[in-house]
Structure 1
Amino acid sequence: MCGRFTLHATIEELFDQFEIDQLFAEYQPRYNIAPGQNVLAIIHDGQKKRAGYLKWGLVPGWAKDPKIGYKMINARSESAHEKPSFKKLLTSRRCLIIADSFYEWKREGKQKQPKRIAPKGRHLFAFAGLWDKWSNEKEDLFTCTILTQDANEFMKGIHDRMPVILPKDKESEWIEPRKWSSEEASQFLAQVGMEELHAYDVSDYVNSAKNEGEACIAPLL
């Protein structure tokens, strides 16, 4: 799964890496992004890439209660095309969720050791995501979920699942406004491959979503 990540790149780095041109007046570096919070995402509107914020935790447009979003922070890429919540989104509401690392907790006896993980040789990357719009008389919610897959050999020693990290040359292809079937979108994810990762231990300071700042990513001595 993916339940916490970071994004503390500069705006200039974001512009350069993802070929976007908006200014993010509200952008701030984040070291402990958690479910229920806003995440920086990129979609394609049919003419160009657009960057903005989505709330992490998918609320399907048909949901009766938006609280369902807290149960839908992740979607299994292998079976998303079979699920009512994700099937239609795979065809037309695909997004990139921008990060520069993610956290996972490795069980060591009775304890869980938090680790910061990222692809080797990449400062910025994108998770494959899905988004949707939910509305009632009072508000519109734009929400998202991160797609996951079985762990690769590196991650198996930490957790049995991991987020789908798109290779750089597959990012634009994922969000292009082509009309894939849900099965074709799932097949695309199954074939993108997995990049080499690296990890290091961090303090349990990161365990609380209330904690922020560089202390979250400081290597544990």
Structure 2
Amino acid sequence: MTTARRRSVGSAVCGRYTNSPTRAQLAGAFPQVAALAGDVGFERFNIAPTDEVIALRAGHDGCEATRLHWGLIPHWAGDRRIASRLLNARSETVTSKPAFRELVQRAASRCLVLADGYYEWLRPESPRAPRQPMHYALTDGRPFAFAGLWTTWRDPAGTPVHTCTILTTAANAIAAPVHDRMPVILADAARWAAWLDPALDGDEIWPLLAPLPDELLRVAPANPLVNSVRNEGPQLLELPADEPMLAAPTLF
């Protein structure tokens, strides 16, 4: 078996994810999505930066479903280019970064980014060898939410653009062999409600940003076709039978 190394601090985490349920399936966990117009964001197996994604946020009449562009553009940004650098926000420093510090303190600027898994890439020791995509999901396969932040930016024409970022935390024991970071996964309704609760101030949200317990996360090799953002479909979740597997011995 080819040896591999995990990705180090500073490399991107959660740069691709899945939201594979149908509208009806996702509405079983998040009823608000039933009212969304159009099909964008449902049955997605290769969500990439700048894509429109499905999220929940606090609204005038409670929690509402919406679509946001993944990659935060702060309201003060001069153009869109910063979005590619703000896909993720480190939970440990989110209160000190200009792009995030005001957002995290306001429940109205927090959001739930809906998903059912995310990808990470296992790097081989040899820089010339291909990376192996790995797919992480809850052990029971349920949809969940990433803890997110959102804001509105206006383009030069004054058109509002709604964008979001996904918070990250230290990797748990399942994710750590591949990367030392993982997205903040909120796995149950109590945590979804708490993240959007206006009664929770900045200090009270920190327990929600802890790594997902090890026993709730599973990992499996994915199809290398996921490497291209142009590819979509359920086949991306399965390693072809004739495809050689690159993996660290500690993963399986």
TM-score surpassing 0.5? yes
CA contact (8 A) 1:7 1:98 kept: yes
Looking at structure 2, the residues matched to 194 and 164 of structure 1 have their Cα atoms a distance apart, in angstroms, of 11
Question: Which residue in the other structure is 1:18 paired with?
Answer: 30
Provide the residue aligned with 1:68 in structure 2. Answer: 82
User: Aligned in 2, Cα 1:212/1:190: closer, same or farther, shift over 3 Å?
Assistant: closer
Answering whether residue 187 of structure 2 is matched by residue 171 of structure 1, we say: no
Describe how 1:1-221 pairs up with structure 2 within 5 A: 1-20=13-32, 21-27=34-40, 28-92=42-106, 93-110=109-126, 111-138=130-157, 139-168=159-188, 169-178=190-199, 180-181=201-202, 183-185=203-205, 187-191=206-210, 193-194=212-213, 196-221=216-241
Q: For the residues of structure 2 that align with 1:25 and 1:94, how far apart are their CA atoms?
A: 24
Distance in 2 (CA, whole Å) between partners of 1:65 and 1:112 is 33
TM-score (normalizing by structure 2):
0.81
Query: Structure 1 residues 191 and 106 mapped into 2: Cα distance closer, same or farther (>3 Å)?
Result: closer
Q: What is the aligned-residue identity percentage?
A: 37
Taking the aligned partners of 1:193 and 1:207, their CA distance within structure 2 comes to 25
Q: Give deviations 1:18-58, integer Å, cap 9, x for gaps.
A: 23151432334111000011111000114311111100000
Q: CA RMSD in A?
A: 1.7
Equivalent-residue separation in structure 2 for 1:178 and 1:2 (angstroms): 29
Shift of 1:135: 1.0
Task: Work out the CA distance in 1 between the residues paired with 2:197 and 2:225.
Answer: 39
Could you tell me how far apart the structure 1 residues matched to 2:99 and 2:207 are?
19
Which structure has the larger Rg over C-alpha atoms? 2
Q: Are the aligned partners of 1:201 and 1:220 in contact in 2 as well (CA < 8 Å)? A: no
Residues 92-112 of structure 1: CA distance to partner in whole angstroms, max 9, x if unpaired? 200000011111001122231
Query: Using the alignment, how far apart are the partners of 2:43 and 2:57 within structure 1?
Result: 21
- Cα distance in 1 for residues equivalent to 2:75 and 2:136: 33
Q: Which secondary structure does the structure 1 equivalent of 2:61 belong to?
A: coil
Residue 192 of structure 1: how far off its partner (Å) = 7.2
TM-score by length of 1: 0.92
